């Protein structure tokens, strides 16, 4: 299915809007909308082919998913809640299942955390930990930060994206946003700016919260923006990270961890002619096993793939291999 890459005439669009205003007026009489703001439908998911023309004017240069695209029986996503594979240059939908279904993102959240930090912070900015880094949730991935620890934003971003450290997310949020709550609002504002209207963040790390949710399509919008930053692209390709930071007394503390991305680490191999640049992993009991990737084909063309809610790690990576193989077809 072809996505939008159309430059609509501004004057034509304005004419349509003017006609709509004249037809609807300013009274209290209800009128049926061309497409509805359904809570489970992204801003770029429209209900008919005719309405697609309206959406395209807002989404020039972006892929627009309007329906499931599951033509290849060799791609079995029966054990995943949602999945998409998008050709960023051709703006083709190579695969789509439940792209606009609202789901928990787990640590895929941290891509937005990194994006907002890169937008509003500087890499050499010193961050200092407060008690907010003391996360006690069972099973939460941590790098062991304590109140008073200090490091640069650059170091914290690498802990965040490579090792998926939840305490690093809190460190970044409080220092860049002033408070964690303010940083989360910055995340939500950025989501709205990107058109990720079925996304709402409640924290910077992705641990389960009823008010913390997104869609596979919205995650595409977020990752598509993040890969515009060279630092982000550099970090997501790293297989491991070693660094030294300092505690409240100035004593050195060492960090040495490998990436959680099993493609980048080499545990799994992508299909022939597909190069996985990197991405983000995420797992919680509520979210299941999640993965989103930025990849390139043999000619260097970029792709984004997302799988949410898979049953287990092995299944997730086998599903992603099958999904990426669609690039070769």
Token pair for 319: 């599903």
Pick from 112, 105, 9, 117: nearest CA to 56: 9
pLDDT at 237 over 80: yes
- Proportion of the chain above pLDDT 90, given as a percent: 80
CATH topology of domain 107-193+203-210+238-261: Beta-lactamase (3.40.710)
List the chain domain ranges: 107-193+203-210+238-261
pLDDT band, very low/low/confident/very high, at 58 (cuts 50, 70, 90): low
- Taking only the tens place, the pLDDT of each residue in 309-324 is 999 999 999 999 999 9
pLDDT band, very low/low/confident/very high, at 74 (cuts 50, 70, 90): confident
Average confidence (pLDDT) over 224-234: 98
Please tell me the predicted confidence (pLDDT) of residue 154.
98
Token pair for 217: 């399509």
pTM, two decimals, is 0.84
pLDDT at 8 over 50: no
Residue 128 to residue 105: CA distance in whole angstroms: 27
- Active-site residue among 42, 43, 81, 107? 107
- Taking only the tens place, the pLDDT of each residue in 277-321 is 999 999 999 999 999 999 999 999 999 999 999 999 999 999 999
Residue 192, beta-bridge partner list: none
pLDDT band, very low/low/confident/very high, at 269 (cuts 50, 70, 90): very high
- Active-site residue flag, 285: no
Please tell me the predicted confidence (pLDDT) of residue 17.
45
pLDDT at 124 over 80: yes
Please tell me the predicted confidence (pLDDT) of residue 41.
46
Average confidence (pLDDT) over 259-282: 98
- Active-site residue among 164, 295, 305, 310? 164
- Active-site residue among 42, 96, 110, 295? 110
Residue 327 to residue 329: CA distance in whole angstroms: 6
Q: Alpha carbon of 47 to those of 33, 199, 260, 270, 283: distances in Å?
A: 11, 20, 38, 35, 32
Average confidence (pLDDT) over 192-213: 97
pLDDT at 91 over 80: yes
Token pair for 114: 């990194």
- Taking only the tens place, the pLDDT of each residue in 32-45 is 322 233 444 454 44
Give the up-direction half-sphere exposure of residue 143: CA atoms within 13 A in the CB hemisphere. 35
pLDDT at 28 over 50: no
Which range, of 25-39, 90-104, 111-125, 295-309, averages the lowest pLDDT? 25-39
Average confidence (pLDDT) over 213-224: 98
Residue 281, beta-bridge partner list: 291
- Active-site residue flag, 107: yes
pLDDT at 20 over 50: no
Average confidence (pLDDT) over 134-162: 97
- Active-site residue flag, 164: yes
- Proportion of the chain above pLDDT 70, given as a percent: 82
């Amino acid at each position: 299915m072809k996505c939008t890459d159309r430059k609509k005439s501004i004057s034509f669009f304005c004419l349509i809007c003017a006609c709509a205003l004249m037809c609807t007026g300013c009274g209290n009489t209800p009128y049926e909308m061309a497409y509805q703001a359904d809570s489970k439908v992204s801003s770029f998911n429209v209900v008919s082919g005719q309405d697609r023309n309206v959406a395209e004017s807002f989404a020039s240069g972006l892929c627009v998913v309007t329906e499931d695209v599951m033509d290849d029986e060799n791609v079995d996503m029966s054990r995943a809640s949602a999945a998409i594979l998008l050709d960023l240059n051709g703006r083709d939908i190579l695969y789509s299942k439940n792209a606009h279904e609202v789901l928990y993102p787990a640590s895929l959240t941290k891509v937005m955390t990194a994006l907002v930090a890169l937008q509003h912070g500087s890499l050499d900015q010193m961050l200092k930990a407060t008690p907010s880094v003391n996360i006690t949730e069972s099973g939460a991935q941590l790098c062991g930060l304590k109140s008073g620890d200090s490091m640069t934003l650059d170091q914290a971003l690498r802990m965040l994206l490579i090792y998926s450290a939840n305490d690093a997310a809190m460190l970044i949020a409080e220092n860049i946003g002033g408070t964690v709550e303010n940083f989360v609002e910055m995340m939500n504002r950025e989501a709205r700016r990107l058109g990720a209207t079925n996304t709402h963040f409640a924290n910077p790390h992705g641990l389960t919260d009823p008010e913390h949710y997104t869609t596979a399509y919205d995650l595409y919008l977020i990752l598509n923006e993040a890969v515009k930053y060279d630092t982000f692209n550099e970090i997501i390709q790293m297989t491991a990270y070693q660094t030294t930071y300092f505690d409240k007394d100035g004593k050195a503390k060492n960090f040495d961890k490998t990436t959680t991305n099993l493609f980048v680490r080499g545990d799994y191999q992508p299909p022939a002619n597909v190069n996985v640049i990197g991405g983000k992993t995420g797992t919680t009991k509520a979210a299941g096993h999640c993965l989103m990737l930025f990849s390139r084909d043999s000619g260097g063309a970029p792709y984004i793939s997302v799988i949410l809610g898979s049953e287990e790690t092995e299944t997730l990576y086998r599903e992603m291999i099958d999904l990426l193989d669609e690039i070769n077809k």
